[in-house]
Amino acid sequence: MNVLVVGNGGREHALCSSIQESPQCEKLFCIPGSDAIASIAECHPVNINDNQAVVEFCKQRNITFVAVGPEFPLTNGLVDDLEINNIAAFGPDQKGAMLEKSKIYTKEICDEYDVPTGRYKKFDDFEEACEYCAAISFPAVIKADGLAAGKGVIIAQNQTEAEQAVFKCMKEEAFSDAGKEIIIEEFLEGEEVSLFSLVDASGFILPLTTAQDHKKINEGEKGLNTGGMGAYCPAPSISNDRLRALSNQFVAPIVKALQNRGIAFRGMFYAGIILTKHGPRLLEVNVRFGDPETQAILPRIRSDVLEILRAASIGKLNQIKEIEWDHRYCMTVVMSTKGYPEDYPRGTPMPNLDIINLSPDHYVFHAGTKKQNGNWVSNGGRVLAVSSLGETINKARDNVYSTIDQIEWKDGYYRKDIGYRYAK
Ligand code: GLY
């Protein structure tokens, strides 16, 4: 079959790398893709937020399966428009994508179905939100309701910071419409785990794996929030039994809640969970592969990834008897341009990317690069996601940093403590 991957980052580079290995993949396309992805998929500059343009592209290329990477096309109803045109797609429809689009929507489902989550209150009025800030204990978390590229969550240490965060969301409109409504939530303490489960429209749930990512820009979890500076898979503290138990506790009731509302969720159910001393609590739901978690998950899957994703999209997940995993850990470290997540230069040279020595268990996924006069240069904030497998988490970490050591990039930055909880 002809297959299309939608997106252009490190996650999509990893998806294309795995999908192109499938014997069922005759021709692989990626929109808009990137210069790096172009070495494994035919890339075209189609606007991924224009559903009709994507549908037309698929029809012209006889594409029968689409894997959608980023959240915006999902919340924009791309899967709905593809399916109307008989093109199978991995990802939820627009209604299912509400789980990621609106934190209030997901919180209200949690309330109704007794899914453990942090105590919260929602606001659409600035003064009321500020009055509430005067009455709560700190730290507290202020969250913009809508999509804010991972930036709409602010931890306030005191009333002044909380009011500033409310102002930023509701008056300054720093997150545009996403911050018109907010929630103010209790701060939950504990280890964070990302739980990935595949779901199909029949309601079949296949718990996939866990990962942990590092959101802060600086070592020791300090500084500004980013899209993610590194990840590893699986989370060492979560056994396979615990993975299934967490999936039963958090994924199953929400999928059921959606079914009761006439919504057949399918695709990736990515639950952000925090393991508090009072038990696990749901932090958020995303409806897609994580970035950079995907770059740590896919190198461990030995089964046919295209077959698995397609089964989820056509209601046949129950036919996937078992996913074959590489038993080793995989760790991903993100290299970003110095300055990210604030201002940073573009076009900085990465002179030896094509000639570094990469053995089979090491991967360099490109998140924000381009070729300029035949040479690789940076073209974004998060630029590379370097992944390595290793027998232990320590070994995975040694391997990934030894690949990074080979990369010449004087404007690059990376955290040296990815996996610090477990790697010594
Ligand atoms: N790594 C966080 C995310 O993909 O949302």
131 C-alpha vs ligand 1 centroid, how far in Å? 32
Q: What percent of the chain has pLDDT over 90?
A: 93
Residue 279: the pLDDT is 97
Nearest to 161 by CA among 142, 175, 146: 142
216 C-alpha vs ligand 1 centroid, how far in Å? 12
134 C-alpha vs ligand 1 centroid, how far in Å? 32
126 C-alpha vs ligand 1 centroid, how far in Å? 28
Question: Model pTM?
Answer: 0.96
pLDDT digits (tens, 9 = 90+) for 378-401: 999 999 999 999 999 999 999 999
How confident is the prediction for the chain on average, in pLDDT?
96
The mean pLDDT value for 49-57 works out to 98
What is the CATH architecture assignment of 189-319? Answer: 2-Layer Sandwich (3.30)
Rg, the chain, Cα only: 21
Question: In this structure, which amino acid lies at residue 125?
Answer: D
CATH superfamily of 329-413: Phosphoribosylglycinamide synthetase, C-terminal domain (3.90.600.10)
289 C-alpha vs ligand 1 centroid, how far in Å? 8
Asked whether this chain's domains 119-186 and 329-413 adopt the same fold, the reply is no
Topology of domain 119-186 in CATH is: Dna Ligase; domain 1 (3.30.1490)
Q: Which of 210, 213, 273, 365 to mutate to test the pocket of ligand 1 (most atoms within 8 A of CB)?
A: 213
pLDDT digits (tens, 9 = 90+) for 134-175: 999 999 999 999 998 777 888 999 999 999 999 999 988 888
Instruction: Name the residue with higher pLDDT: 224 or 270.
Output: 270
pLDDT digits (tens, 9 = 90+) for 56-81: 999 999 999 999 999 999 999 999 99
Measured from the Cα of 228, ligand 1's closest atom is: 1
Measured from the Cα of 231, ligand 1's closest atom is: 1
**Using CB atoms within 10 A of its CB, is residue 262 exposed (0-12), middle (13-18) or buried (19+)?**
exposed
pLDDT digits (tens, 9 = 90+) for 83-112: 999 999 999 999 999 999 999 999 999 999
Q: Whose CA is nearest to atom 5 of ligand 1?
A: 290
Q: How many CB atoms lie within 10 A of CB 167?
A: 16
268 C-alpha vs ligand 1 centroid, how far in Å? 13
The mean pLDDT value for 37-50 works out to 98
pLDDT of 37 > 90? The answer is: yes
The mean pLDDT value for 308-324 works out to 96
CATH class of 2-90: alpha beta
The mean pLDDT value for 228-247 works out to 97
Provide CB contacts within 8 A for 169, sequence distance 6+: 142, 144, 152, 154, 175, 179, 180, 182
Measured from the Cα of 290, ligand 1's closest atom is: 4
Instruction: Name all residues whose Cβ lies below 6 A of ligand 1.
Output: 150, 213, 228, 286, 290-291, 293
Residue 310: the pLDDT is 98
Degrees (nearest 5) of the Cα angle 224, 190, 278? 145
Q: Which of 217, 286, 288, 294 to mutate to test the pocket of ligand 1 (most atoms within 8 A of CB)?
A: 286
Enumerate the domain spans of the chain.
Answer: 2-90, 119-186, 189-319, 329-413
226 C-alpha vs ligand 1 centroid, how far in Å? 9
